[in-house]
Amino acid sequence: MGSVSNFILRRLALSVVTIWVISVISYVIIQLPPGDFVSSYVAQLAQSGAIGSGDDLARLRADYGLDQPMFIRYAHWAWGVLRGNLGWSLDWGRPVADLIGERIGMTLLLSLTALALSWILALPIAVYCAANRGTPGDYFFATLGLTGVALPNFLLSLGVMYVGYRWFNLDFSEVHSPQYATAPPSLGKGLDLLWHLLTPALILGLATTARLIRVLRANLLDELEKPYIVTARAKGMRELNLILKYPLRVALNPFVSTIGMTLPQLVSGSIIVSLVMNLPTVGPLLLRALQAQDMFLASGILLILATLTVLGTLVSDLLLAWLDPRIRLAA
Amino acid sequence: MAELVPGASQWTLIRRRFLKHRLAAVSTVVVALLYLVVVFADFLAYADPAAPNPGRPLVPPQPIHLFEDGHFAPHVHALHRWRDPQTFEMRYAPDPATRIPVVLWAHGYTYRILGFKADRHLIGVSGRPASEGALFIMGADSLGRDLFSRILLAIRTSLVIGLAAVALSLSLGLVMGTISGYYGGLVDLLIQRLIEILRAIPTIPLWMGLAAAIPATWSITAVYFTVTLIIALIGWTELARELRGRIMALRNEDYVLAAELAGSGPGRIMLVHLLPACTSHIIATTTLAIPAMIASETALGFLGLGLRPPAISLGVLLNGAQNLEALALSPWLLWPVAPTAAAILAFNFIGDGLRDAADPYA
């Protein structure tokens, strides 16, 4: 049991360090643009006609602690973040936490739908490819997979958007059908939402699906060469049952073990897919924040996204340790 | 799988195995062509990619007519511009009566190639200054600039950025991966944790944040290098991981022990004995990294965060293709998608072929 708790402790410690590094990067991003927060605030005040004097400026700076060294300001900011205060969005005139809170759900929903879709698609395709190795079908999916891994999300979504708009008159940017747009939450509304997220999730999950198919197919093929398969086949077991019964279970490992790798990619991709398709996730919010130099909002989004990703990875690691004793022992 | 021919060197085996991957072999030709474009972009372009034509916004692609009255005389029809009285849209109509000859080896805008000044272009129109904008093979953008010429120069920028970023992250990955794999222990632990941390962060928002922080006042060159640096600083982890695994496996080979006993220091063992043994893997991983870098630059430019106009890159060109309604009216603005996808796919297919071929005995 010692090795299990050891493994969990190490994973936890690493996640904490990762989140800390992310927070430092986020803070640096706030600090990077020329001029500090107060100068942009004052510039905004000046635009609206209320011009502050030099004295006001100095007082504002002191209020926000801008006259103190960087690490103290960082500590101040980090303490605020820990208490749920991500700062104030100048662009929207609202707390950053509220803005992110409104859209983070859709972001997670999109990423997780993509993950689920890639699992649902990868499993049967990989089994088919492994069972029909070297057939045209196998080659077809191999080529499709290679293309799917390679094509960047934004090109794919741009293409799908254009084709949909031009020839099918589809608009992907609405996540609710008109009749549900203002309706209270219900099962129908939820299903409708999932239906609208299907296309973006497919685009987002394509690379993951392709990678999963590849790993799963390779694992299955390794398994299929083992003597117990030959024995089962000699005994007259049907080919499909043969695959589904034992080798598939052994080969299933990558489904969980690749979450750590795919989750950051999915979250990352969800930003760009929803930017192209104009979905109400944090993606468009992030772009607008960056364009308007609304750095508290931008770094808040980066911090929250990255932290959630790290937590997701942590959960998948723990899940894997529970599923696969080999991981525990190796750690 | 590959038949082992007695006496064939490892590189011969790798080459044979690689050529068997047909997609990879074809892709090699595509990439070679793309880099020919990189070198000769200005020669192949026929109109100054930066010069706007106020009278020619959004000209649709123009066909080149090859024959005139039965004999070979390539030409385009002059364009007549008018406004639709109902919709007030700007429209262009070809005027078949006025033929503008298209000639080879034409004079055009001046550019520098390999240190020489030149003004010859593969094709051009004769009898009119090119600045008038008579020829638009792939149409014009909203400022009347020739899209074909712009795409050629964009290919140059984006493909060179890919190489530069890869060169940077290759050196980072080589150093980190080799040290990590050779020394093991605490150094390895630290580097591996650093890699895990970097890989746990969603890259696109991070890139966006860093790229947006580049001051708008910087010169194109400065932005160019910063974007390259940002992409490279996050992209080295894959190579370092791959290399570490290889080096760790090789480190326990007898020949390394022999070299140690013969008095070789760690530096010599790493550089002379370990790294060359990984060359094929390094090449494969590097090739797979190039398209990722190109895609990153293009995505950033597409979002308007990476290179910005007046720089010309595939991302910058695609930035003009964001608006769906505009695309429905002028679909030729989507042309930059083709070279982007071609470059990214071709590099990936080559990388895939190389990865399979890297270990010819496997």
Tell me if A24 is assigned to some domain. no
What is the Cα–Cα distance from B198 to B132, expressed in whole angstroms? 51
Mean residue pLDDT across chain A: 81
Average of pLDDT values for A129-155?
Answer: 86
Q: Residue B252 pLDDT more than 70?
A: yes
Minimal Cα–Cα distance from A258 to chain B, Å? 12
Tell me if A308 is assigned to some domain. yes
Q: pLDDT at position A327, please?
A: 60
Of A29-33, B79-83, B100-104, B189-193, the range with the lowest mean pLDDT is: A29-33
Q: Does A286 touch chain B (CB under 8 A)?
A: yes
Question: Chain A interface, mutation test: which of B303, B337, B347, most A Cβ atoms within 10 Å?
Answer: B303
The band of B31, judged by pLDDT with boundaries at 50, 70 and 90, is: very high
- Residues A225-280 have pLDDT tens digits of 888 888 888 998 887 788 887 788 777 777 777 777 788 888 888 888 888 888 88
Query: Does the interface ipTM go beyond 0.90?
Result: no
The band of B1, judged by pLDDT with boundaries at 50, 70 and 90, is: very low
Average of pLDDT values for B310-339?
Answer: 84
What is the Cα–Cα distance from A124 to A129, expressed in whole angstroms? 9
Minimal Cα–Cα distance from A191 to chain B, Å? 27
Of A150-154, A326-330, B156-160, B255-259, the range with the lowest mean pLDDT is: A326-330
Q: pLDDT at position A139, please?
A: 87
Alpha helices in chain A (DSSP H): 2-31, 37-47, 54-63, 70-82, 96-131, 136-150, 153-167, 187-224, 227-234, 239-245, 247-251, 253-257, 259-277, 282-291, 295-323, 325-330
Report pTM: 0.83
DSSP string, B118-172: EEEEEEEESSS-GGG----TT-B-TT--BHHHHHHHHHHHHHHHHHHHHHHHHHH
Q: Does A307 touch chain B (CB under 8 A)?
A: no
Minimal Cα–Cα distance from B123 to chain A, Å? 31
Q: Residue B74 pLDDT more than 70?
A: yes
Cβ contact B349–A29 (<8 Å): no
* Closest chain A CA to residue B329: A166
HSE-up of B29 (CA within 13 Å, CB side)? 5
Average of pLDDT values for B168-173?
Answer: 90
In contact, B263 and B190? CB cutoff 8 Å: no
Of A54-68, B132-146, B202-216, B265-279, the range with the lowest mean pLDDT is: A54-68
**Contacts B305 to A, Cβ<8 Å:** 287, 290
Provide the number of structural domains found in chain A. Answer: 1
The band of A38, judged by pLDDT with boundaries at 50, 70 and 90, is: low
What is the Cα–Cα distance from A192 to B322, expressed in whole angstroms? 27
**Contacts A296 to B, Cβ<8 Å:** none
What is the Cα–Cα distance from B61 to B64, expressed in whole angstroms? 10
Q: How many CB pairs under 8 A join A and B?
A: 120
Q: Residue A52 pLDDT more than 70?
A: no
What is the Cα–Cα distance from B252 to A23, expressed in whole angstroms? 40
Q: Which pair of tokens denotes residue A227?
A: 């003597």
Tell me if A288 is assigned to some domain. yes
Q: Residue A60 pLDDT more than 70?
A: no
Q: Does B210 touch chain A (CB under 8 A)?
A: yes
The band of B4, judged by pLDDT with boundaries at 50, 70 and 90, is: low
| Residue of A260, A305, A45, A277 lying closest to A157 (CA atoms) | A277
Q: Does A143 touch chain B (CB under 8 A)?
A: yes
Q: Which pair of tokens denotes residue A31?
A: 């600090």
Q: Which domain holds residue A318?
A: 96-330
CATH code of the domain containing A115: 1.10.3720.10
**Cβ burial A259-297 (10 Å sphere, 16+ → b, else e):** bbbbbbbbbbbbbbbbbbbbbbbbbbbbbebbebbbbbb
- Residues B43-67 have pLDDT tens digits of 888 888 888 887 788 888 888 888 8
- In the stretch 147-166 of chain A, residues with CB closer than 8 A to chain B read 147, 149-152, 154-155, 158-159, 161-162, 165-166
What is the Cα–Cα distance from A11 to A149, expressed in whole angstroms? 28
Minimal Cα–Cα distance from A230 to chain B, Å? 22
* Closest chain A CA to residue B341: A151
Q: Residue A223 pLDDT more than 80?
A: yes
- In the stretch 220-259 of chain B, residues with CB closer than 8 A to chain A read none
What is the Cα–Cα distance from A307 to A242, expressed in whole angstroms? 42
The band of A331, judged by pLDDT with boundaries at 50, 70 and 90, is: very low
Percent of chain B with pLDDT over 90: 13
**Contacts B331 to A, Cβ<8 Å:** 162, 166
The band of B195, judged by pLDDT with boundaries at 50, 70 and 90, is: confident
What is the Cα–Cα distance from A21 to A33, expressed in whole angstroms? 20
* Closest chain B CA to residue A171: B324
* Closest chain B CA to residue A13: B193
Q: pLDDT at position A45, please?
A: 65
**Contacts B291 to A, Cβ<8 Å:** 150
Residue A214, CA distances (Å) to A240, B82, B111 in order:
19, 55, 47
Tell me if A235 is assigned to some domain. yes
The band of B339, judged by pLDDT with boundaries at 50, 70 and 90, is: very high
Percent of chain A with pLDDT over 70: 84
Tell me if A170 is assigned to some domain. yes
Residue A236, CA distances (Å) to A87, A221, A241, A242, B221 in order:
67, 19, 11, 10, 69
Q: Using DSSP, state whether A221 is helix, strand or coil.
A: helix
Q: Residue A102 pLDDT more than 70?
A: yes
Which residue do the tokens 């496997």 mark? B362
Cβ contact B349–A299 (<8 Å): no
Mean residue pLDDT across chain B: 84
Tell me if A54 is assigned to some domain. no
- Burial level of A207, CB count in 10 A (0-12/13-18/19+)? buried
Tell me if A74 is assigned to some domain. no
Of A37-41, B113-117, B175-179, B299-303, the range with the lowest mean pLDDT is: A37-41
